Amino acid sequence: METMGFEEMWEKIIACDKTYDGLFYTAVKTTKIYCRPSCRSRKPKKENVRFYAHREEAQTAGFRACKRCRPEAERTPHAALIRSVSAFLLREHKQALSLRDISAFAGVSRYHLERLFKQETSETPRSFLEKIRVDKAARLLRTTDRGSLDICYESGFRSPSHFYKAFRRLTACTPSQYRRRSADSGDAAACGTDPAHPPKEVVVRE
Ligand SMILES: [Zn+2]
């Protein structure tokens, strides 16, 4: 999957991040089982993991669906539509996207899209997109030495003030505080929370 690298997906499964459910699947070579990113089963060894963008690919490669997280089961009739919208947002997060653009992609009205999206993910398309952008920015702050302004635009934000506000709201710290903390702890840091764990607002747990 081109929109996320291996390390990035690995971080999501370690955090059991529900935000990315349906956007990729984790297959484990030793057990021949594949899972959703949020699966609470014991984490596999990194070298045994393969990621697939579509569950059909995992199945074709000989992996069976996990009994615990049931990656093959659609939870609601709208799951497939919302998954394709989430994948669209992840893929296009650097573009300026209005709710009109997103609903045009989904082929349903804006009102209908907001309602279905909320039902399925407890987010609006806009807050989901913001979460993805903050997540991308946080990763760039942790893994590169690029400047905040550069990272702001690279993650899809259109203005520094919006970037700082959104980043603060979701991680409880400024981009530079976040960078300093993760350099100190050597891990995904969050202000006001255990530095070994990513911010609560970004990682949606069950
Ligand atoms: Zn599982």
11 with 61, same domain: the answer is yes
Is residue 47 assigned to a domain?
A: yes
The rounded Å distance from CA 65 to ligand 1 centre is: 7
Please check whether residue 123 is in contact with residue 117, taking contact to mean a CB–CB distance below 8 angstroms: yes
The rounded Å distance from CA 39 to ligand 1 centre is: 4
Q: Distance between CA 101 and CA 136 in Å, rounded?
A: 21
Number of domains comprising the chain: 2
How distant is the alpha carbon of residue 197 from its chain centre? 15
Mean pLDDT across the chain: 88
Q: Distance between CA 195 and CA 134 in Å, rounded?
A: 17
191 is catalytic: no
pLDDT-wise least confident of 1-15, 21-35, 103-117, 168-182:
1-15
The pair of structure tokens assigned to 102 is 């997103």
**Mean pLDDT calculated for residue range 93-100:** 94
The pair of structure tokens assigned to 118 is 């909320």
Kindly report the CATH number assigned to the domain that includes residue 92. Answer: 1.10.10
Q: Distance between CA 46 and CA 61 in Å, rounded?
A: 19
The pair of structure tokens assigned to 10 is 């690995």
Please check whether residue 167 is in contact with residue 136, taking contact to mean a CB–CB distance below 8 angstroms: no
The rounded Å distance from CA 58 to ligand 1 centre is: 13
- Residue that wins the pLDDT comparison between 189 and 104: 104
Kindly report the CATH number assigned to the domain that includes residue 56. Answer: 3.40.10.10
Q: Which domain holds residue 105?
A: 79-126
16 is catalytic: no
Per-residue pLDDT tens digits for 142-201: 999 999 999 999 999 999 999 999 999 999 999 999 999 988 876 655 565 444 444 443
CA-to-CA dists, residue 40 to 4, 12, 17, 90, 189, angstroms:
21, 12, 10, 23, 22
